[in-house]
Amino acid sequence: MSQQVCHIKWNADGLIVDGQQADLLPHEGGLKELLAAYYKSLGLNYPKFHKMDNLSKLGVLGVAMLSAQYDLSAYADDAIAMHFQNASASLDTDWVHQQNINEGKAASPANFVYTLPNIVLGEIAIRNKWYGENLFVVADSFDLERWMKTNQVLFDQNKAEAVLGGWVEVLEEKFELELYFVVKQ
């Protein structure tokens, strides 16, 4: 059994943290600028953030928001597993990489390293110094029931005390984050 202790939903319509809805922060420009506005708003001091692709930025910011709501530091560094899903994998970044190649330019190594969707898990793990289990699944849509069933396997096998994850999707300027933190009962 598990218990949901925190839920964040964030998309173009707004941000909902544990049922409390807020408008998006004002920003000039597109998704990159919106994510930068939240980076500043959260008071993060993590220059590597600016090197990330939008998918990783979205995941890192979501976890930072969740950390502000719920004390994750109470867990051992390998006790929190991460389990995320999305539909577009890293296509948002893959396109940029392909465009560089098509234009005959040398491909950017800094862009290339984000051409895998599970890099977002690595970025979250590095920032939080977590060493737990992690899983990234590409699916048509977010199936909460299936997500919870997979988490239960982790709990049953004593692989994790809690699971953080859900849906993290970015494609061009569209984004959607649905983040859950569930703990083993």
Q: Which of 78, 95, 108, 146 binds other proteins (CB under 8 A)?
A: 108
Give least dist CB 30 to other proteins, A. Answer: 15
Give least dist CB 35 to other proteins, A. Answer: 12
- DSSP states of 128-177: HT--S-EEEEE-SS--HHHHHHHHHHHHHTTS-SEEEEEEEEEETTEEEE
- Rg over alpha carbons for the chain, rounded to the nearest Å, is 16
**What is the rounded distance in angstroms from the CA atom of residue 173 to the CA atom of residue 33?**
11
Please report which helix (H) or strand (E) contains residue 111, including its range. helix 109-112
Give least dist CB 46 to other proteins, A. Answer: 10
Closest CA to 136 of 87, 177, 73, 83: 83
- Give how many residues touch other proteins by CB under 8 A: 11
Q: Which of 71, 105, 129, 140 binds other proteins (CB under 8 A)?
A: 105
Give least dist CB 68 to other proteins, A. Answer: 21
Smaller CB distance to other proteins: residue 5 or 107? Answer: 107
Interface positions with other proteins (CB under 8 A)? 36, 47, 50-51, 105-110, 113
